[in-house]
């Protein structure tokens, strides 16, 4: 009886996760622009706006190196510092070796909402993989990383747009950047602007500044 209930719970969460992925794909397809329909100059301008977002603390603070210490930028401050309380993401990047990030950080697709009740399709709060490092990197370095499938999770230009939609439907780390709560600053523009810029940059062939 217990086992079948467990199986049902697992199946329900798998279906919820799959539905999220399919919905994200459908939505991302609508965002895409035909390759070559955007000029290199417009693509570079889109990259400049993307760069302002990904170097912002709300994004870069989780995209850190192999030391796996998240960065913390309190409200009203621009100075970044290592996360207090000896927090460490470990090799797992989710803090599994010590205190899991999810002990304190709840994941929700809606800012300031409690985590969805189990079974949940959300992804636990965690650091981005080491290869996706942004904190302390220049815009040109981040641009080169983001277009390199070996260092971005195997994503082409369309895959990056899809990731933004996928994250919005599951973990919500990215949309949260624009609705962080507690008086924290936000990256320029809106989440929807960011999706459009990513589609433009992709259609222009992902040009990077020199």
To the nearest 10°, report the CA torsion of 96, 150, 82, 59.
-100
| Dihedral (CA of 23, 24, 25, 29) sign | positive
Q: Residue 87 in contact with residue 93, Cβ under 8 Å?
A: no
Contacts of 196 (CB under 8 A, 6+ apart): 31
**Coil/strand/helix, residue 201:** helix
CA distance 93 to 114: 22
Q: Is 104 in the site for ligand HEC (CB under 6 A)?
A: yes
Q: Which of 4, 85, 118, 150 binds ligand HEC (CB under 6 A)?
A: 85
Q: Is 121 in the site for ligand HEC (CB under 6 A)?
A: no
If the CB atoms of residues 13 and 80 are measured against ligand HEC, the closer one turns out to be: 80
* Minimum gap (Å) between residue 176 Cβ and ligand HEC: 7
H or E, element range at 82: strand 81-82
Q: Residue 81 in contact with residue 155, Cβ under 8 Å?
A: no
If the CB atoms of residues 6 and 192 are measured against ligand HEC, the closer one turns out to be: 192
Q: Which of 72, 139, 179, 196 binds ligand HEC (CB under 6 A)?
A: 72
Q: Is 180 in the site for ligand HEC (CB under 6 A)?
A: yes
Residue count, binding to ligand HEC (CB under 6 A): 42
CA distance 43 to 52: 14
Q: Residue 202 in contact with residue 157, Cβ under 8 Å?
A: yes
CA distance 73 to 186: 11
Query: What number of residues does the chain have?
Result: 210
* Minimum gap (Å) between residue 52 Cβ and ligand HEC: 11
Q: Which of 31, 38, 43, 89 binds ligand HEC (CB under 6 A)?
A: 89
Q: Is 126 in the site for ligand HEC (CB under 6 A)?
A: yes
Q: Is 165 in the site for ligand HEC (CB under 6 A)?
A: no
Task: From 5-13, 29-37, 58-66, 110-118, give the range in contact with ligand HEC by CB under 6 A.
Answer: 58-66
Q: Which of 47, 49, 55, 58 binds ligand HEC (CB under 6 A)?
A: 58
Q: Is 46 in the site for ligand HEC (CB under 6 A)?
A: no
- Contacts with ligand HEC by CB under 6 A lie at 53-54, 57-59, 61-63, 70, 72-74, 83, 85, 87, 89, 95, 99, 101, 103-105, 125-129, 132, 145-146, 152-153, 155, 160, 163, 173-174, 177, 180, 182, 184, 187
């Amino acid at each position: 009886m217990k086992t079948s209930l467990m199986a049902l719970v697992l199946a329900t969460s798998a279906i919820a996760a799959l539905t999220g992925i399919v919905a994200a794909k459908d939505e991302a397809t609508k965002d895409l622009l035909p390759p070559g329909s955007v000029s290199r100059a417009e693509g570079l301008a889109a990259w400049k706006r993307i760069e302002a977002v990904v170097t912002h603390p709300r994004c870069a603070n989780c995209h850190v190196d192999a030391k796996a210490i998240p960065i913390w930028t309190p409200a009203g401050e621009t100075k970044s510092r290592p996360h207090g309380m000896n927090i460490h993401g470990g090799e797992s990047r989710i803090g599994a070796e010590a205190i899991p990030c999810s002990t304190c950080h709840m994941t929700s697709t809606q800012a300031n909402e409690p985590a969805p009740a189990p079974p949940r399709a959300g992804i636990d709060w965690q650091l981005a993989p080491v290869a996706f490092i942004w904190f302390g990197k220049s815009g040109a370095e981040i641009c080169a990383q983001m277009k390199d499938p070996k260092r971005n999770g195997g994503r082409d230009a369309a895959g990056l747009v899809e990731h933004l939609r996928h994250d919005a439907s599951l973990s919500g780390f990215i949309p949260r950047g624009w609705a962080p709560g507690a008086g924290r600053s936000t990256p320029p523009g809106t989440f929807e602007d960011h999706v459009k810029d990513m589609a433009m940059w992709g259609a222009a062939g992902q040009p990077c500044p020199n």
